[in-house]
Amino acid sequence: MAVPLFNVGDRVVVRTTPRFPTVNPRTPEYAKGHRATVVATYGRVENPLDHHAAYEPLYTVVFEGREVFGSRASHEVVAEMHEEWLDADS
């Protein structure tokens, strides 16, 4: 079992393409290239009613609205992202 790469509090950047070919080819378009903070980790989630094989480790990340949608946005976006879509923000 892979050890999750990220921990709560880590800063991450959403990739525009997954780090490797993945059975879960989805991540929201608006998030790509933007920075977020990890607020929860789940590891690999078994969800057999939804998908056959467990997807990569899952995180809840928070985006500042203004970082994604421009300076007039004041809200937060909370989204779940799988590990192959995330890089460490260095």
Q: How far is the CB of 25 from other proteins (least distance, A)?
A: 6
In the bound complex, what is the minimum distance in angstroms from residue 42's beta carbon to other proteins?
7
CA distance 41 to 86: 13
With respect to other proteins, which residue has the nearer C-beta, 46 or 87? 46
CB atoms within 10 A of CB 46: 10
Q: Which is nearer to other proteins, 10 or 41 (CB)?
A: 41
| Radius of gyration over every alpha carbon of the chain, rounded to an integer in angstroms | 13
What does the binding site for other proteins look like in residue numbers (CB under 8 A)?
25-26, 28, 30, 42, 45, 47-52, 55, 58, 60, 69, 73-80
User: What's the min distance (Å) between Cβ of 51 and other proteins?
Assistant: 4
Cβ distance to other proteins smaller for residue 10 or 22: 22
